[in-house]
Amino acid sequence: MSRIPIAILGATGTVGQKFVVLLQEHPQFEIAELVASPRSAGKSYSEACSWKQDQPIPRRIAELTVKSTADPLSSPILFSGLDSSVAGDAEVHYAEAGHVVISNSRNHRMDADVPLVIPEINSHHFEMVSRQRWPGAIITNSNCSTMFLAMALAPIHEQWGIEWVQVTTMQAISGAGYPGVSSMDILGNVVPYISGEEEKMEIEAQKILGTLTPEGVDPAPFVVSAACTRVPVFDGHLETVTVKLPSGNEPTIDAVAEVLNSWRGMPQDRSLPSAPVQPIEVLSEPDRPQPARDVFRNKGMSTLVGRLRPDPIGTFKMVIMGHNTVRGAAGAAILNAEAFVALGHFDRYRR
């Protein structure tokens, strides 16, 4: 079977570069077009891109000519790593032109007819694209810090229900894009504010874990309280999480660990190319997970959980971590595309 041609929007940015790395040898998708700002259009990718990945630009990709968002595209699937300042209108433009836009940007995540998908959790939310007003479609993945929280909460919510969640994040500088945070602000320091991050965490997990209805998604009934910080770590968002279960639901810590470790979803059932065999991995060492040691476990596609223990205010607490530019961004969008194709939703958009 021939591979599906795809385009990368925002190809020269941090997430766009990660798309190139993850898609260069993908068995289903072939990079056919690269799109960036007008100042990059017309240049070869190697000329336009300040490459910051830990491997060279693939030769074929380096020679591709970069297009602008004003240029027509032929690829049916577009992966969007566009900055939120331009993503909203650009993604609608492409959906109106009949493309399937798999977006990492925040602009359309909370639209009533746009699915916010983590396919292990809510692949059935892809059905929402049939309600969209465009010939094409827009599909979103969550904010990077929400990704790991929602992954860890999903099997717990399914098994016991959740009353409330409190989370504090320690987020890597790569989450701010290149060049990230000024060295004078981040070296030897913690910045206790990331614009818009807490608001996203407090609503996105509820949509992901919510119930699909004819009108949209009824949010999951639990409350999330988030505090987000930026720390001097290159890759890997670490989060401390306290979970309160409904009264009468007080599982042992071993039971919680077993539910997390054994949880699987649609991507694992279908053996999708980017799916980790174990989407949640519970680590037994008392000082793990750590970004420097664990961020690339399972190719950066799993959520790692450690320090599971009882909590005197909630029911239990834990530390979770994941790779923010892989599973938290480009890898999540690619897995969404794989799931969308595997479930047959893409058939109506094939050209």
Using CA atoms, how far residue 188 sits from 185, 231, 233, 292, in Å, is 8, 9, 11, 17
Residue 304 amino acid letter: L
Q: How many CB atoms lie within 10 A of CB 98?
A: 14
Q: Which are the catalytic amino acids?
A: 144, 237
Q: What are phi and psi of 127, to 5 degrees?
A: -60, -20
Cα 272 from Cα 252, distance rounded (Å): 33
Q: Is the omega angle on the peptide bond into residue 179 within 30 degrees of 0, that is, cis? A: yes
Secondary structure of residue 71 in the 3-state scheme: coil
Contacts for 207-215: CB closer than 8 Å, 24+ residues apart: 207/109, 207/110, 207/116, 208/116, 208/117, 208/118, 208/121, 208/122, 208/142, 208/146, 208/150, 208/154, 209/121, 209/122, 209/150, 209/153, 209/154, 209/157, 212/122, 212/124, 212/125, 212/127, 212/128, 215/112
